[in-house]
Amino acid sequence: MSEVLVQPPAEKKSLLGKKERKLLTDPLSDNNPVTIQVLGICSSLAVTTQMKPTMVMAISVTAVVALSNWVISLMRNAIPPRIRIIVQLTVVSVLVILVDQMLKAYMYDVSKQLSVFVGLIITNCIVMGRLEAYAMGNKPYPSLLDGLGNGFGYGVVILTVAFFRELLGSGKVFGFKVIPDAMYEAGYVNNGLMMIPAGALFVVACYIWIQRSFAKHLEEKE
Amino acid sequence: MSSKGNSGTIVFALVVTTLSAALLAAAATILKPAQDENVLKEKQQNILSLVGLNGPNDYKKFEELVQGVVIDDQGTPVQGVEAISLDLALEKKLKSKNPAYKVRYPLYIYKDQQGKVTYLLQMAGVGLWGPIWGYLALDQDGNTVKSAIFDHKGETPGLGAEINTDGFEKQFNNKKVLNEQGQFVSVKVEKGKHDASMPHTVDAISGGTITSNGVSKMLQEDIAFYLKYIQQNPNNQAL
């Protein structure tokens, strides 16, 4: 996070210059909010048993992080420092309630599966983390991109986790059966561990393991 | 706007909260009809799924497929209220607050192509953390359970929440609510040794004792209520 803080204000006119691209792509790997900063772990354990609700959760979190980053950045010079956290919380809550209400109206079955976890986006550390670390000190457009990037970074991880959990836990991908019935007849059984939150811990851990074995520079020096 | 001083802070806070409140109020009002429709659709789909009507569009023909009757505690039909719009959980809450309140129950009657009647019962109860509810299909004889579904608001995942799984619900198929003397004994959710042949018990959920007891109590109370109507109308003149 600290390297983001010391960046000089963007002066480029281009909509997607090098700096902007970096804002979007950095959180996908080298500065991933889940696997590197280890934020937002709670919801990545809870909602990742199937890919469809996970997809909706990823989109919801991305929308909330990006929009709250943008709104807070617009207001950043007017927010009285003493109440800035509560103002951030208000903005995040409003956005989360809007997302929740929209899901209830237009994606009722998914909203039932996600249940309380949509409301809990408010407490997702990624959201408040980005507001404090980035949006309070940067212009609206880069803040929006930073929010999108972090949302995507979160989405990539939880979708990967959900892919393995759904595949190994119920033999499906996005609700479609991929493991043929013949396998079950031959004695294959779904892995029950993948259906419970502990299963997600293992998958996230493997993700971090693999990521760090490829990107050695992430390892802390002794 | 000054970011220093108390008045600036208070004004800022007021503006932010007022705008937020207005935005949320507008969203809630605009989205309410769509949300209510989803809830109604789910209820209709639940009721129809009891008799195997699981098609994605079956709920649109709900009014033609089943007939709703609202009954009172004497088992007599009540006029002037639609079964589908009756909130059973609210009825029971009013009753628990005021014992004199005359509680009403919604009953749905389904007639298949051979003219065989199935009673579709709606039930409401309390689990460990909050409301639980269910629907139960009772055969024409007013005794044999054909199928049952349950759901809950927020029971513990893996424990009480298991009541809405097939494994739990399927146990109810072909259970009897009357004993051999024709007296009402309900179907009980009990721990212990069970085999599928026992007519009045199903296996409880391990670790979900309070939810299981809630289901038992709900079945006991609500089936008894509906039976008054069903036994008074053995050939179902209501249709």
pLDDT mean values, one per 10 residues, chain B (239 residues): 73 94 95 91 89 81 85 85 86 88 89 86 91 92 91 82 88 89 87 77 87 93 89 64
- Does the structure show a pLDDT above 90 at A33? no
Whether B9 sits inside 8 A of A83 (CB atoms) is yes
Q: Look at residue B2 in the predicted model and tell me its pLDDT.
A: 46
Whether B20 sits inside 8 A of A87 (CB atoms) is no
State the average pLDDT over residues A86-102.
93
Note the pLDDT tens digit of each residue in A157-182.
999 999 999 999 888 888 888 888 88
Q: Look at residue B1 in the predicted model and tell me its pLDDT.
A: 47
Cβ-based contacts of B34 with chain A (< 8 Å)? 105-106
**Position A3 confidence tier, pLDDT thresholds 50, 70, 90:** very low
Between residues A71 and B196, which one has the greater pLDDT?
Answer: A71
Q: Look at residue A14 in the predicted model and tell me its pLDDT.
A: 65
What is the CA angle B97-B103-B107, rounded to 5? 140
Whether A78 sits inside 8 A of B1 (CB atoms) is yes
Interface test with A, best of B2, B6, B12 (most A CBs within 10 A): B12
Chain A, nearest residue to B26 by Cα: A98
Note the pLDDT tens digit of each residue in A43-67.
788 888 888 889 999 999 999 999 9
**Position A139 confidence tier, pLDDT thresholds 50, 70, 90:** very high
Nearest by CB to residue A101, choosing from B4, B28, B158, is B28
B108: distance to nearest CA of chain A, Å? 24
Q: Look at residue A94 in the predicted model and tell me its pLDDT.
A: 94
